[in-house]
Chain A
């Protein structure tokens, strides 16, 4: 059976994008180990509401590690202590009695804070709109099995496609670069025969958009890969760079 734990929680509060922000400190008592991290915040919020105070705002939805909505910086790590897991997949049994747990929003120029722990990630959508697609019309394309795709290629594309667009890579990067996210989408599409015709155009368009939106450059610190909840590999960045250089040479 899981034990109950008590700990100190320091949570970032910020009333809006322009507010300076500050930490609020809470003493959490007797939280069962099988409570998820977000359920722990639910418990805190219920307490705050009971005291007539405003609850802490944070993004969340699926609570299964797939929607990419949750986004907390826990003790200095995006998505907290676990590897290969999102914030919503973390359970309190990972923490110890007496711990001090610090919770902050993603901190990056590309993701301004909206309120408390909630940030604005629409920049990712804009990068997608610049080229994160294969230009195919709704209608009747050829039979799906007319395109043979070797299993290793399909698997590699699938691994790249498992990115959930959470933004942890940007949050982890000292340069605030979105290269892991961009390279994951470009790799998925550029690896597949269906995506080849637009491969170079796509790489260039998405990278220019990323630069335009104020994300930093990649200097190969690998912090993104280490913190990515879906273990997206930085080999995707190398692939993206190759396609980007090819695209530049063609210009």
Chain B
């Protein structure tokens, strides 16, 4: 099927596109802004920064979140840092280099013009956050400090201890609070968007569930912005917070917004390994650990076996018997290769039997060398909170001297394994961050825009804030400038009534299944299928099996689900069931896209498509496009694919190489 996809990329050389756009876009004058309403769903970095900025500009903003306070959005959990092209370290960084690294890191599957704009505004973000009082780490001279992160050879990551996401979100939350105090933004906490309302082909409102009273409520606006985060929890176990979900995104998809590149899911290499079947989530150990930690497994299979049986410990294995496989395979980047490469390399070793814990699904991350080089104090200063967190969870202290063999000191290594972490795919948006539905915008992790097939560390925070502070507040005006004559409209319109009724019917349906299985038990099942067949190493056959299994899970959900309590009032299980319904649809969408993409790139690895050395093999001739999926009127129907061809003008498309 063909469809002309207009991504609205402005004319001109890459470095001038955004400036040109801003110079020529339509603006809304202050008197008219007061007459225009905007709904922003989500209060993470993207949503909070957008709501605060739009409110301050004079629009009337309604801002929604699931948690009891905007400050608790999942962005709060980001540890490592945020990138910017400041070149404060004078190590040769530039807007172009950040742009280039991001495109390369994304395995040449991102839209060039968007990424350039992202790199361009990255510096403004740091300025903005410092002005808000974000306490970034500093050097003794009072200047801002930086660290390096995977996939880059410069030090361009700004950080606030191991709590960068928290501090950035609190900055945005402060700005948002100021606007709430000033009356420009109205907050709706403990609300969950259930559906988008379309009037005459344009997004004009939402149906949201008040999670305390259980009631459905209608909200109207001139435009709707979705900033609802990623869909990683489709895999049940992930590093995402428990409430992360894709219900808002799926409701937009069902109403006609295309979903782009769902198969691009990021698996983070440094998480604490799974320990049992009661586990509710996986804990990320910040990637910054790879700056000083060295990743290894034993060279000898018998050592691995002894580790798996609990007969020896990591510290019992001397230096010469350790295989620092990342340093071996990728001498130029070593332990700092991008996440997808590091994750696959860990899987490769474990698949070959070299895993180091009782399940055989873990590798070591070792600080012995850096503790010797820098001293325990310095290492603890950098990673102390992560060491403590690791110890609380696993009962092992990575800073503890375990053994001395031939004068070499060995400290307890950490155990890590890859886990689902971030979703590069998302709602399709054009250069203006508008979806394929007019008046519906998507920002932050929930859109697909900037990371291609793989996201580099410290780039999600950058993208969320770029979208919310510096891009959307401009581009949405280009849309709203035509809407100034549209009066506020009432939620009594039949479109609102219909949308609300559809949500109510769905809720009644779920309550009435009255089966025997809890939401979590079905969700775990979904997670197992997703990880097994649609996870790190995908094959055509596996994906087909996965799709069949997903259909079975859908059926199980439809016939076996049990939700205690009633639909009136608060019902946490009902809320989880609604989300699970959407995760199943999302899971299928991921599988369809993964099956379609007969190549390996970034976070999407198809085992049939790899080089002899086990590296991902892209197929630029046939898959150099954004896959845009369109809903076909029923969750049981296969979606239809449209392609947005990628056009690269500034960067030469190459094979990704982290070896030399």
Binding site for B on A (CB under 8 A): 1-2, 16, 32, 34-36, 38-39, 42-43, 46, 48-50, 52-55, 57, 59-69, 82, 84-85, 89, 91, 93, 114-115, 120-122, 124-125, 128-130, 132-145, 147-151, 154-155, 157-158, 161-162, 164-165, 188-189, 192, 194-195
Contact = CB atoms under 8 A, between A and B. Distances in A.
A154 to B, nearest CB: 4
A195 B130 CA distance: 11
Contact of A38 (B132, B175, B241, B280): B280
Interface string B132-153: 1101111111111000000000
A128 B174 contact: yes
Contact of A61 (B74, B130, B520, B564): B74
Nearest to B162: A66
B572 interface: yes
Given A93-B395, A132-B177, A67 B67 contact: yes
A61 B189 contact: no
Given A53-B564, A61-B67, A133 B77 contact: no
B501 interface: no
A89 B470 CA distance: 36
Given A46-B521, A140-B124, A129 B180 contact: yes
A135 B71 CA distance: 18
Contact of A128 (B127, B173, B283, B573): B173
Contacts of B72: 61-62, 67-69, 165
A158 B76 contact: no
Most chain B CB within a 10 A radius of its CB, from A60, A138, A139: A138
A69 B136 CA distance: 24
B473 A161 contact: no
A87 to B, nearest CB: 12
A194 B130 contact: yes
B82 to A, nearest CB: 12
A64 B142 contact: no
B535 interface: no
B128 interface: yes
Contacts of A34: 275-276, 393-395
Given A133-B174, A138-B53, 14 more contacts: A16-B569, A34-B394, A61-B242, A62-B72, A120-B68, A137-B56, A138-B56, A139-B128, A141-B131, A142-B131, A147-B130, A150-B138, A165-B72, A192-B133
B564 A148 contact: no
Contacts of B394: 34
Contacts of A50: 518
Nearest to B566: A54
A234 B395 CA distance: 30
Nearest to B50: A138
A55 B574 CA distance: 11
Interface in B277-306: 278-281, 283-284
Nearest to B68: A121
A188 B242 contact: no
B559 interface: no
B181 interface: yes
Contacts of A154: 135-138, 142
Nearest to A230: B163
Contacts of A148: 141-143
B52 interface: yes
A27 to B, nearest CB: 17
Nearest to A34: B275
B411 interface: no
B431 interface: no
B160 interface: yes
Interface in B145-183: 160-161, 163, 166-167, 170, 173-175, 177-178, 180-181
A142 B127 contact: yes
B649 interface: no
A188 B52 contact: no
A165 B212 CA distance: 21
A132 B241 CA distance: 26
Contacts of B100: none
B68 A145 contact: no
A69 B190 CA distance: 12
10 contacts: A36-B280, A42-B278, A49-B518, A122-B189, A129-B180, A129-B181, A130-B181, A136-B128, A144-B126, A145-B86
Contacts of A120: 68
B541 interface: no
Contact of A63 (B137, B170, B281, B388): B281
Contacts of B91: none
Contacts of B106: none
Given A49-B573, A122-B189, A158-B161, A61 B127 contact: no
B74 A62 contact: yes
B15 interface: no
A37 to B, nearest CB: 11
Contacts of B180: 125, 129
A45 B521 CA distance: 12
Nearest to A2: B395
Contacts of B497: none
Contact of A67 (B241, B395, B564): B241
A240 B600 CA distance: 56
A39 B177 contact: no
Contact of A68 (B71, B74, B131, B570): B71
A16 B53 CA distance: 37
Contacts of B49: 138
Contacts of A145: 86, 88, 143-144
Contacts of B129: 144
A189 B573 CA distance: 40
A67 B133 contact: no
B70 interface: yes
Contacts of A157: 133, 135
B422 interface: no
Question: 6 tightest A-B contacts by CB?
Answer: A148-B142, A129-B181, A133-B174, A141-B131, A158-B135, A144-B130
B275 A144 contact: no
B645 interface: no
Given A67-B67, A192-B135, A144 B175 contact: no
B108 interface: no
B170 A55 contact: no
B77 A129 contact: no
A134 B134 CA distance: 10
B378 interface: no
Given A148-B141, A162-B163, A57 B572 contact: yes
B632 interface: no
B183 to A, nearest CB: 10
A147 B133 CA distance: 11
B130 A91 contact: no
The interface centre, meaning the residue of A59, A139, A148 with most chain B CB atoms within 10 A of its CB, is A139
Nearest to B189: A122
B76 A62 contact: yes
